[in-house]
Amino acid sequence: MSISDDKKHIVILGSGVIGLTIGHVITTKHADKYRVTIVARDMSEDMTSQGFSSPWAGANWSPFSDELDPATFRRESKTFNKFWEMESTGLTYNVPYRIFHPEANAEKLKNIWYKDMVRDFRVLEPEEIPQGFIGGVKFSTITVNPAKYLPWLKNELLDRGVVFVKRQIHTIGEAADIAGPDGIVFNATGLGARSLVGVEDKLVYPIRGQTILAEAPDVKECIALPIGSGQDPDGKVAYAIPRPSQGHVIIGGTYQKNNWDTSVDFDTAHSIWEKAVQFLPALKSEKSRIISHNVGLRPAREGGPRIELQRIKLPFVSDHMYGVKGSITEEKEFPVIHVYGFGGTGYQASWGSAEEAVDLLQNI
């Protein structure tokens, strides 16, 4: 019997940033206990696929709320510190970040929940705040380039012996069948959790994000209006995110809930650019050019992300799938750890969320 035969088999559904990071944490902490297979329709080399959200992310750390949520703070502070430490690798980029608030004043902002998590935090002086806003903050944040970061994660896992299977999974029972009778499944399917038979989480919904990828080497900082504040009624927000190396910048964008449209709206693209130029005159440089227009669907969930251990009954039976029989015929409960529903925070919550999910293995 080989050493790998002594290890329990873990199957991770999904090869986005969450699924890959889970694989990294497992193979770092528990390489002696588990062998890992990642099964997904879309892989890190499928960077033009709109079937998953990770290629299209802005991929920086940015606050999505002015109010403290302990779970969010726990997950994102771990991730922020991890990314900050990775800058020497060239995979992450530490940059200044200005956020303008149309409602929150300096008194409220000086104690905002993330002030001790980010670096170099300060409240902007009145003369630094554009017309139409009453407050703002500046701090140092991190950004990631998905086109480099996702392949790096995959290569790390390949070097550790992780097996990748390019396949679409329709039911949670199929995943259990791949894992085997004593296996474990991590469900990191994002929007797929809505249609994955046996999960069918109707709390999952898309948030449409349209962005512009530009070459703009003179842009050296992130800038944003906060989500849910100061945005247009049709879901437009303004932000710019420089990426590590190459002088590329992601400019956004839209935040349109329950919108499944993945086509580019060029009227929206025009307004995105015009609004960004107002706050970042460096975009007017002769060095700037538009590389592509992009649309991605953020995999959100009402009530927030789901990180939870569930035991499903096998053999798997569903009213939605007829004549489908797996190889596991013995009646038993099969462990599934759900890790999905992060909306636009997948990258910035990835390491903390993966660690939290992997810690659930001790309950199996």
| pLDDT the model gives residue 323 | 46
Alpha-helix runs per DSSP H in 216-333: 266-279
Q: Does residue 70 lie within any of the structural domains? A: no
Last residue of a domain, one of 273, 301, 329: 301
Q: How many helices (H) and strands (E) does the chain have?
A: 7, 15
Question: Average pLDDT for residues 155-184, to the nearest whole number?
Answer: 96
Q: Does residue 65 lie within any of the structural domains? A: no
Question: Average pLDDT for residues 188-211, to the nearest whole number?
Answer: 97
Residue type, 234: D
Q: Does residue 331 lie within any of the structural domains? A: yes
Residues pairing with 251 in the sheet = 212, 240
| pLDDT the model gives residue 325 | 52
Contact 201, 303 (CB under 8 A): no
Are 216 and 359 in the same domain? no
Q: How confident is the model at residue 225 (pLDDT cuts 50, 70, 90)?
A: confident
Is 234 buried (19+), middle (13-18) or exposed (0-12) by CB count in 10 A? exposed
Q: Does residue 95 lie within any of the structural domains? A: yes
Are 88 and 21 in the same domain? no
Residues pairing with 99 in the sheet = 137, 224
Are 157 and 185 in the same domain? yes
Q: Which residues are annotated as a binding site for D-dopa?
A: 239, 298, 344
- Structural domains in the chain (count): 2
Contact 232, 268 (CB under 8 A): no
Q: Rounded to an integer, what distance in angstroms lies between the CA atom of residue 105 and that of residue 195?
A: 43
Contact 38, 157 (CB under 8 A): yes
Place of tokens 């970042």: 280
Residue 245: give the domain boundaries.
75-144+205-301
Q: Does residue 329 lie within any of the structural domains? A: yes
Contact 188, 307 (CB under 8 A): no
Q: Which residues are annotated as a binding site for FAD?
A: 189
Q: Rounded to an integer, what distance in angstroms lies between the CA atom of residue 242 and that of residue 222?
A: 6
- Say which CATH number the domain at 134 has: 3.30.9.10
| pLDDT the model gives residue 38 | 99
Place of tokens 């894992």: 179
Are 131 and 156 in the same domain? no
Q: Rounded to an integer, what distance in angstroms lies between the CA atom of residue 67 and that of residue 90?
A: 32
Whether this model's pTM surpasses 0.85: yes
Are 233 and 295 in the same domain? yes
Is the bond leading into 315 cis (omega within 30 degrees of zero)? yes
Last residue of a domain, one of 301, 326, 348: 301
Q: Rounded to an integer, what distance in angstroms lies between the CA atom of residue 172 and that of residue 176?
A: 6
Note the pLDDT tens digit of each residue in 40-74: 999 999 988 998 899 999 999 999 888 889 999 99
Are 213 and 126 in the same domain? yes
Question: Residues with Cβ < 8 Å from 304, sequence gap 6 or more?
Answer: 69, 71, 341
Are 130 and 175 in the same domain? no
Last residue of a domain, one of 258, 283, 301: 301
Phi then psi dihedrals of residue 228, to 5 deg: 85, 5
Q: Does residue 291 lie within any of the structural domains? A: yes
- Say which CATH number the domain at 359 has: 3.40.50.720
Q: Does residue 68 lie within any of the structural domains? A: no
Note the pLDDT tens digit of each residue in 333-363: 899 999 999 999 999 999 999 999 999 999 9
- Between helix 350-359 and helix 70-85 the angle, nearest 10°, is 110
Are 134 and 151 in the same domain? no
Are 210 and 283 in the same domain? yes
Q: Does residue 326 lie within any of the structural domains? A: yes
Are 356 and 236 in the same domain? no
Contact 245, 143 (CB under 8 A): no
Q: Which residues are annotated as a binding site?
A: 189, 239, 298, 344
Note the pLDDT tens digit of each residue in 80-108: 999 999 999 999 999 999 999 888 888 89
Are 126 and 163 in the same domain? no
Are 236 and 99 in the same domain? yes
